[in-house]
Chain A
Amino acid sequence: MTTTNLDPVLSAFERRPESLIPLLQAVQENLGYLPPDAMGTVARHARVPRSRVFGVASFYSQFRFNPVGRQRVAVCRGTACHVGGAKFILEQLERTLGILEGETTGDMEYSLETVACIGCCGLAPCITVNDEVSAKLTPMKVRKQFKKARK
């Protein structure tokens, strides 16, 4: 088992229950998600019960409990994108990547999720790949963009 040493990440935060959410964010930034062991380590550091760490983490949609791909594809489903056909963008991505929303490809390269609004409605319909925005998409453009990358 490979466990990343989280000490450098944790040591930036005070050992108090109030540090819990910032700690979880820092750990997720570091590992990409919150593995059970890491939540245990956070519990110890913040001096809170392990169950509370999961209770808090599972309340917020920002925290993930499964590993994500190296490239996180997020489809915007905000109003502008919805009107612009976000549904078809998502369907195309699911076909091209071979995974459903919320899943990660077997090679851990891509994960696919939806978000409520990215905040660039002028570029609708759009997606983000990690923090890069791809604007004014069509299913064809999506297919091209990812088909090439998959080869």
Chain B
Amino acid sequence: MSPKIEISLNGSTVEADASATVLEVALEHDLFVPHLCHHPDLEPAGVCRLCLVEVDGRMVTACNTPVTAGAKIRTDTPTVQQTRLGAVELLLVNHHGGTIDCEEGEACDLNRIARFVGADEARLGRYRPPDRTLPVDGSNPFFTFDPGLCVLCGICVRTCDEIVGVAAIDFVKRGFDTTIGSAPGKQWIDSDCVSCGECVERCPTGSLSFTGFETPEYEVTTTCTYCGCGCGIHLGVSGDRIVSARGQRENPSNEGRLCVKGRFGFTFVNSPERLTTPLIRRNGALEEATWDEALDLVAARFSAARGDAFAAIASAKLTNEENYLIQKFSRAVMGTNNVDHCARLCHSPSVAGLVQSFGSGAMTSSSKDLGDARCIFAIGTNTTAAHPIIGLQIMRSIRAGGRLIVANPREIELARHADLFIQHRAGSDVALLMGMMRVIVEEGLHDPEFIESRCENFEAFQESLAEYDDATVEEKTGVPFAKIAEAARMYAENSPAAILYAMGITQHTHGTDNVLATSNLAMLTGNVGVPSGGVNPLRGQSNVQGACDMGALPNVYPGYQKVELPEVRAKFEQAWGADLDDAPGLTHLEILRGVTAGPIRAIYLVGENPALSEADATHAREAMEKVDFLVVQDIFLTESAEYADVVLPAASFAEKDGTFTNTERRVQRVRKVIPPVGESRSDAWITCEIARRMGASGFEFESAEAVMEEIASLTPSYGGITHDRIDQVGLQWPCPDPSHPGTRYLHAETFPRPGGRGRFVPLEYRPPDEEPDAEYPLVLTTERSLYHYHTATMTRRVPGLETLRSEELVEIHPRDAVELQIASGDRVRVTSRRGEVEAHALVTEASPPGTISMTFHFHESPTNVLTNAAWDPVAKIPETKVCAVRVERA
């Protein structure tokens, strides 16, 4: 809090924050001072000249003049009014096409101001220059830029630079020709724009406007269904359709900001392709059926497959309540721990690794606090593409002078902003991180006090550093050691320093080791237990954290309580009234392998699409083809649903109540915005109906809220969570009791391990399972596009997103492209030991020589047919980030 001072405002004495500007004080006292280029999210610019006021008799722009003690501010003198009127008129005459009486009316800030100051259209005529007819730029599928209405306040330019960090647009040309643009002769779509719409949201003149905008009848506040950032979002409804989305400003996870998927990616909900009725396979084809027929069939077939013949694959896109019900159904009704979900394929090493070292496998900090870090080390995360809103916190940290180290085999967008960009070989993370730690220890940059008082096993760890000498690290990573040493110093010398990572760390046969290396690094420098430091695995899906928390994992009940522990099992047996299996069940890949070489005869596949998402996807398809009975519960007929015996149409996130837990452990409300489409039903209803028809009890819930009550009673970290408490803003677990305020950052005092200490783990470098050779000379690494999500079942049903990115691209370095005689746009065939895929090539220096990259969003080019299912021995995650391939022209 800055000190208070007294000032005089239009003659009355008021108290003001010493750090405030004149405009802020005036607005705070409900005194309207016209302003156009000011926005509370942006730094003051003072370019529109509308906010002129008198301070001690001198005319100043209020938005960028700080208040001083005793200042006499007048906003109402004739001089102010006269000058202001002139300023407004000069803006209005350049606001072509828009007059004071224009149809935008109150929606246009300039229009509102014009009326406020009493601008007169008749007076404007003589100033108005002949209309410049500048072409409207409608190249972006989601919004339109009409330069005629633009008065060059620069809010869009500053938003893109200050908040988004992209700076796709700027003022271009000069004098009367000045406009907003990106490059000579280029349209908006050709710029670096990421289509987030933040500029459109802030444009005060209607120059930037949402294309085809429909005013909603009302809005419902819920949580975005896409990535783990977990943004609060107001969805606007008209009839039974969702027509708009707006960020929730009070939500600390996003503070009102949204990315392109969050703001524009909701139209899949009303897609005509939604599944609206149950389907049953009859004579080889899926045919429409009634709910009774479908549910009775499922209940009968599941009844015959109780025990280890059954497996459920839950979903990180379902609510906590639904994941809880699915694992309860598997364990209590089906009598097996064979329940897993796609976290196995993304962050299982985070859970396994961080539990070993810290005792808890979740992001330690809050998203918002990352913006206050003095150093951010982003390794194996393409944050601006996969977690755009956390990407904004990285930008905030940089703007405040924080250092950014980016380590990634690909030259991702963040590299442009980095103080240091380390382009290490895919899969060499342990060597890189251990090399950094050796430098830190040798140069005495570590934190002996923290290590001594909070950690254990340091000596053994320190010994293991010796083998990471300069030459070894350089050889494994392909990075000059001097650069690695510089990164080590930068990370160690700027505290608090936060490590951010995602799939680049986890999707390896040594994914758990990679995770342990990050936690070693954070402990070594005392960067754990502080608000803006820590180790921060960025979770990929809206509720992947929650699905793990809810025990949709084969070895733990909700709250990571181990199934082997008799006292834990007894607690759940009593609560659920059933005998429970004491052996951990099968993991995701083991379930599918269990069809071809094991006991699995029935699979309950909910909200997942292994046909595209599973490493070595051909095998996954074979397993789904072969399994006796496959139930697929989804909102669309996915590639996997085509193998189903029964397809159950689920309600989307916007058609049901519940909670999601985002990557920063914040449990937030998901609300029913519209009624379920067609005959679709919530996943919770479907699972409970199946259980009921199998004669089970314990599935008679009246609401999602009631399910949460049962969860809270059995899950210590959710003990204090109720729907009531998280009505407006979520709570971060651990939240053990109803009076607990939630936990902003983890491990402040102790680690939740026996003894309370964090554990250093010595690490040995292991190469990826598959390395390039003569036959398969290139490395394939997988990535994600900003415009699509997972297997794109939702995003590809949003026409605008499909426009922005409509096909797979094989990104290849110019050097390799020349050797293979490939140009951008050529059709190429990529072959691995497991299969082949065709797509168009994109020659780019973003891919390092010797490495190509592809997403896995497009069913026409199913990249995971190529990837290697060899898995990490601890976490059993497949090595989707590295496999050997060859590329040739198709």
Contacts and interface: CB of A to CB of B under 8 A. Distances in A.
A126 to B, nearest CB: 27
Contacts of A55: 170-172, 181
Given A47-B416, A59-B173, A59-B174, A54 B168 contact: no
Interface residues of A, number: 15
Nearest to B166: A49
Interface string B174-207: 1000000111101000011000000000000000
| Interface core residue of B167, B170, B172, B174 (most chain A CB under 10 Å) | B170
A52 interface: yes
Interface in B148-181: 161, 166-174, 181
A36 to B, nearest CB: 6
A54 B167 CA distance: 12
Contacts of B170: 49, 51-52, 54-55
Given A36-B183, A39-B183, A58-B184, A51 B192 contact: yes
Contact of B173 (A39, A47, A49, A58): A58
Given A55-B172, A58-B174, A49 B184 contact: no
A39 B183 CA distance: 9
A65 interface: yes
A58 B182 CA distance: 11
Contacts of B416: 44, 47
Question: What is the size category of the interface that chain B forms with chain A?
Answer: 10 to 19
A47 B421 CA distance: 13
A50 interface: yes
A47 B171 CA distance: 18
B167 A51 contact: yes
Contacts of A59: 171-174
Interface in A93-107: none
A54 B192 contact: no
B184 A50 contact: no
Nearest to B170: A55
A51 B184 contact: no
Contact of A52 (B167, B173, B174, B184): B167
Contacts of B184: 36, 54, 58, 65
Contacts of B192: 49-51
A54 B183 contact: yes
A52 B168 CA distance: 8
Interface in B819-843: none
Contacts of A65: 184
A139 to B, nearest CB: 32
B792 to A, nearest CB: 28
A54 B174 contact: no
Contacts of A54: 170, 172, 181-184
B181 A51 contact: yes
A65 B169 CA distance: 18
A44 B418 CA distance: 12
Nearest to B192: A50
Contacts of B183: 36, 39, 50-51, 54
Interface in A44-69: 44, 47-52, 54-55, 58-60, 65
A50 B166 CA distance: 10
Interface in A79-96: none
B434 to A, nearest CB: 30
B398 to A, nearest CB: 12
A36 B184 CA distance: 7
A55 B174 CA distance: 9
A49 B167 contact: yes
Contacts of A58: 172-174, 184
Contacts of A60: 174
A2 B524 CA distance: 51
A59 B186 CA distance: 17
Contacts of B172: 51, 54-55, 58-59
| Interface core residue of A48, A52, A60 (most chain B CB under 10 Å) | A52
A39 B170 CA distance: 14
A58 B699 CA distance: 67
Contacts of B169: 51
Contacts of A36: 183-184, 186
Nearest to A60: B174
| Interface core residue of B174, B184, B186, B416 (most chain A CB under 10 Å) | B184
B182 A50 contact: yes
B182 to A, nearest CB: 5
A44 B182 CA distance: 15
A48 B170 CA distance: 12
A62 B169 CA distance: 22
B559 to A, nearest CB: 46
Contacts of B182: 50-51, 54
| Interface core residue of B181, B183, B192 (most chain A CB under 10 Å) | B183
A36 B166 CA distance: 18
Interface in A2-55: 36, 39, 44, 47-52, 54-55
Contact of A51 (B173, B174, B191): B191
A63 to B, nearest CB: 10
A44 B191 CA distance: 15
Nearest to A56: B170
B139 to A, nearest CB: 15
A68 B110 CA distance: 42
B725 to A, nearest CB: 43
B423 to A, nearest CB: 14
Contacts of B161: 49
A131 B182 CA distance: 32
Interface of B: 161, 166-174, 181-184, 186, 191-192, 416
17 contacts: A39-B183, A49-B168, A49-B170, A49-B192, A51-B168, A51-B170, A52-B167, A52-B170, A54-B181, A54-B182, A54-B184, A55-B170, A58-B184, A59-B171, A59-B172, A59-B173, A60-B174
Given A50-B192, A51-B170, 6 more contacts: A36-B186, A47-B416, A49-B161, A51-B172, A54-B181, A59-B172
The 7 closest A-B pairs by CB, nearest first: A49-B167, A55-B170, A51-B170, A65-B184, A51-B182, A58-B172, A58-B173
